[in-house]
Amino acid sequence: MKNVELVFQLLYSLLDLRFLPDKLQRWLFDTGTRVITVTSAMVMIGFAGIFILGGSEVFHLKLYKGFLLLHPLTLSVLLIGVALTQLVIAIFKSNRCSVLSGYLLIFSALIWAVISATFWAFYPPLTTGMTTYPVLAVVCALAGRNLINYAKRIEDSKYKGR
């Protein structure tokens, strides 16, 4: 019975993100959009990593032939550049950074939509890229718009008091 309780405690700690330091947890989940920004950036870095580490072999697969419209290095640099910019801007807490982060999330939504369209262009077969990336695109677009509107409301409330 103690083993079951131990397993449940471990699962609770993992799901509750207790393995992260409190300061990092507060930063990551302070706004609902920051976790989306970090997730999108990490997935972009992972996606670019596949193109960099997988070499030309990745593009021999039917699903990835559409990505050859852009040079693999160009695509990787674009994805890593946007991702790192998102992560750096997410560190700062200012209204300007929030607006810029919002626009980067909207740009990320465009990137995810194009990636999704690339998977759809080579249908069949059905792939998870046909459902995962459109959802990520919509979530990024909505979070970006919300972040921009939130920053503008904060700015407007500052000037109303004057």
pLDDT of residue 17: 57
pLDDT of residue 21: 73
Q: What is the DSSP letter of 123?
A: P
The pLDDT value given to residue 57:
84
Q: What is the pLDDT of residue 80?
A: 97
Question: Model-level pTM?
Answer: 0.80
138 near 109, Cβ under 8 Å? Answer: yes
Residue 1's pLDDT is what?
A: 65
51 and 76 Cβ atoms separated by less than 8 Å:
yes
Q: Contact 160/152 with Cβ under 8 angstroms?
A: no
Q: Residue 147's closest CA among 109, 101, 110? A: 101
Tell me the one-letter amino acid at 122: F
> What is the token pair recorded at 2?
């103690």
55: phi > 0 → left, psi -120 to 50 → alpha, else beta; which?
Answer: left
* Residues shown for the chain: 162
Q: Which tokens belong to 80?
A: 């890593």
Q: One digit per residue, pLDDT tens: the chain, 162 residues?
A: 677 888 777 766 666 655 667 777 666 667 778 999 999 999 999 999 998 888 778 888 887 888 888 888 899 999 999 999 999 999 988 899 999 999 999 999 999 999 999 888 888 788 888 899 999 999 999 999 999 998 998 888 887 766
Distance CA 66, CA 112 (A): 14
